[in-house]
Chains A and B, each alone.
Chain A
Amino acid sequence: MWGKKSVMFNVSNLTVSVEDNEILKSFSLDVGPGEVHAIMGPNGSGKSTLAHVCAGKEDYTVLNGEINLNGEDLLDLEADERSTRGLFLAFQYPIEIPGVTTLTFLKSSLEAHYKANNREVLSTPDFMKLVKKKAAELNIDDSMIKRPLNVGFSGGEKKRNEILQMALLDPQICILDETDSGLDIDALRLVAEGVNNLRNEKRSFVVITHYQRLLDYIKPDFVHIMYNGKIIETGDSSLALELEKSGYNNYIK
């Protein structure tokens, strides 16, 4: 690379334990504006843990390190504050919440973002218009957003719902944790298009996946292999192709 690379989001030397087990071991990652980073790695290597810690889940002990977004350390912030600062996590397993309709949830969430960023909250009709437009783009019908949040949604519907939230909240750094798993071929294309529509020179993505297939649609700038709590190899998109062919054996010892 030439010159000094600008970094928007970075994780440095992050060491995290759960119940006395170290899961992340001095993990580091630099993400510049507009970049797409793919993280691949065997089951249990700590990918979801990384995603959760970035988003502010509380069950983890951060022993060392920093997580910065636009120069601000996120570790001191609550999950909701990280979200309104521009971090979005698409969950590997979205949570079902009976009794809260998807619509109520989307409205509360969008309003919280507007309030935190001193923007005027949308009127209900404007909000409805916006949701319907974004939902239609992801082939999510009205009846789905009137149902309780994720309850009885199929695997693919849950993932599309995550992308809908991402599209509404207009984040700067999006972490997608296995958003492709459980999707059929058409849904995969829809979700990938949804992500690609959101790509611009300012918004960045960290895409956690097991399959190179997703990366055919969402072209990554970097591919990292994560193993045992840290990144052990970085390359370009050809690395994903190679992994697809020969697995992780050449990298993990």
Chain B
Amino acid sequence: MLTEEKNINVEEQVIAYCKDNISNQDIKHPLYPARLGAYELFRIHGLPSTRNEQWKYTNITSKLERIPSQSDVKPVPVNLDNFINNFEIVKKAKENKDSVLVFMDGAMQSQLSVISSDTKTIKVTSLKKDPIPDWAIKLNSEKHSQNVNEMFNLNTALMEDGAIININNNKGIADNIYIIHVGNNDGFYNYRHMINVQNGAHVNIIEFKISNKVDIEALYTSSIIWKIGDNCVVNNVKYQAHNQITIGFNQQYADIANDTEFNSFTISSGSKLLREFRDINCNGSNSNISISGVNLLDGDSHIDTMLSVKHKAPNTISREKYKSILNDNSKGVFQGNIIVDDIAQKTIAKQSIDALILSKNAEHDAKPELEIYADDVQCGHGATTGQISQDSLFYLKSRGIPEEEAKRLLVHAFLTDALEEIKDKKILETFADVMNNMLNRVSKGNLNV
């Protein structure tokens, strides 16, 4: 249904929250103009409703009842360091002397973070505590001035902290940077990262977002803005496993120059509502990108991905391969747009959106769209929604494999070709264990239902 009764109450709450926040900001801060502008826009438009084509399948206010209450003091728990080191991934990263940036409830924890000793090639500053570099101010205002996205505006108005990362390496060996986010207290969090990958740089950026406890009620908005130069190789993997009551709105923007490879892969699970908005621009020629991911949903989770890939120069290749597993009462939404400008001849763009439904109450809506203005292109898209094949299941069972394991094998099999989009095999291995645990849970289902 397209009509909805807006939950006016929560919208007013959010606007009031913004108003209060803006009145406490330093008007001399270089990001203040963007903040104020974004606040004005958000105040006028409010939260997007399902009348907005981009939000057709997701009714925010039916999921978001209120801003979670929060206390003013959010002490870092003594165990946070232990908690983080419990993850094999982080432990290994530290052993390898990779950079690890730790955020708790959206705020950078300098005392837990390590920046690789080679500070000449990687420079990390905090949006909250450090002066903002000129490139970041410029990048921020560019994105802000072009923007009509309500949740991005909300994020601009409220952003508190984030990592400003400048990468300038030319050695042909990738630097690894881990960004760990831990949700640790109830509350409303807003953060923004800006990443500048300079010409010729190779970098792996691995984001890891988790809830510390199952009963932390968090609402957050986050934005990550990438500016990627010529001749770069960038592998980005984001793993987000929130608890079942977290609500999050993620925005990702990327501008990609010439002759660059950009692979961005997202693994998502959990969340009461998770919105993944991604706006990827191939501005230069001869670049090759993959924007892909897997969603593993159970319980009452709802994940909505809105992906737009724009080819704005000749000879670029893009692949979008998404696979979703849905169990219990979960819902998945995917809207994917490929736009090929008239000058973007010889574009190759392939999009596939596949969903595997494991329960009769789960639902998946997919809407792939192509807008092509160039004539010499190869573009294709397809969306499928299916169930586990009974013939396959019987075949495995007839060889003694118990039903539960047979299902897990088939679910895993369904994901394989998407997982191949994680081009750095070391990163893929890194995630194997956590993914398997997640997969075991989701293929069984019955979480919270």
Contact = CB atoms under 8 A, between A and B. Distances in A.
Given A57-B394, A58-B394, A79-B394, A100 B403 contact: no
Nearest to B415: A99
B400 interface: yes
Given A91-B395, A97-B392, A112 B400 contact: yes
Contact of B401 (A55, A56, A95, A109): A109
B413 A80 contact: no
A78 interface: yes
Contacts of A113: 400
Contacts of A95: 389, 391-392, 394-395
B435 to A, nearest CB: 14
Contacts of A57: 394, 398
Contact-residue size bin, chain A (C-beta under 8 Å from the other chain): 20 to 34
Residue among B397, B398, B414 facing the most chain A CB atoms (10 A cut-off):
B398
Nearest to A171: B400
A72 to B, nearest CB: 16
Nearest to B417: A99
- Looking at A82, A108, A165, the one whose CB has the most chain B CB atoms below 10 A away is A108
Q: Which of B391, B395, B415 has the most CB of A within 10 A?
A: B395
B410 A97 contact: yes
Interface in A15-44: none
A94 B413 contact: no
B400 A99 contact: no
B409 interface: yes
Nearest to B394: A57
A163 to B, nearest CB: 13
A204 interface: no
Contacts of A169: 399-400
B197 to A, nearest CB: 33
Contacts of B402: 78, 80, 112
A165 B399 contact: yes
B64 interface: no
B400 A56 contact: no
Given A79-B397, A112-B401, A99 B392 contact: no
Contacts of A98: 413, 416-417
A80 B400 contact: yes
B186 interface: no
B400 A100 contact: no
Contacts of B414: 99
Contacts of B392: 95, 97
B239 to A, nearest CB: 21
A91 B399 CA distance: 11
B376 to A, nearest CB: 32
B415 A78 contact: no
Contacts of B444: none
A58 B403 CA distance: 13
A80 B402 CA distance: 6
B117 interface: no
B400 A83 contact: yes
B398 A89 contact: yes
A61 B399 CA distance: 22
Contact of B398 (A79, A97, A108): A79
Instruction: For the complex of A and B, list the 8 residue pairs with the smallest distance between their C-beta atoms, beginning with the closest.
Output: A99-B413, A79-B397, A83-B400, A109-B399, A99-B416, A95-B395, A112-B400, A80-B397
17 contacts: A55-B394, A57-B394, A78-B403, A80-B399, A80-B402, A80-B403, A83-B397, A83-B400, A91-B395, A98-B413, A99-B410, A100-B409, A105-B399, A108-B399, A108-B401, A109-B401, A116-B400
Interface of A: 55-59, 78-80, 82-84, 89, 91, 94-95, 97-100, 104-105, 108-109, 112-113, 116, 148, 165, 169
Given A78-B402, A98-B417, 7 more contacts: A80-B401, A80-B403, A84-B400, A98-B413, A104-B409, A109-B396, A109-B399
